[in-house]
Amino acid sequence: MKRKIGFLILMTISFLNTRAQCAMCRAVLESGEDQSAAEAINDGIMFLMVVPYILVATIGYIVYRTYNKSKKRRNIDEVV
């Protein structure tokens, strides 16, 4: 369990330094002098990328919870 938590923390930290821009966006934004626009675009891309991960994690949690509930019910029914 500790290994899984450590891996999750490591993956979360590694996402902090990633660059989410495609090659075309990066070339256009790096050619300009204003780097704040490049940072804003990168932050926007990262924000948009997080939403699908949250949705998938939520659905996965619901499936996991439902599976464990039905498994507990089966175990209780077998005992009775």
- What is the domain partition of the chain in residue ranges? 2-79
Spell out the residues 6+ positions from residue 45 whose beta carbon is closer than 8 angstroms to its own.
Answer: 20, 21, 25
- The confidence score (pLDDT) of residue 57 equals 95
- Say which DSSP state 33 is in: S
- The confidence score (pLDDT) of residue 77 equals 64
Residues in the chain: 80
Residue 16: closest CA among 37, 36, 42, 35: 42
Handedness of CA 17, 23, 24, 26 (dihedral sign): positive
Indicate the pLDDT class of residue 18, thresholds 50, 70 and 90.
low
Mean pLDDT of 14-34: 67
Per-residue pLDDT tens digits for 40-73: 877 888 888 888 999 999 999 999 999 888 777 7
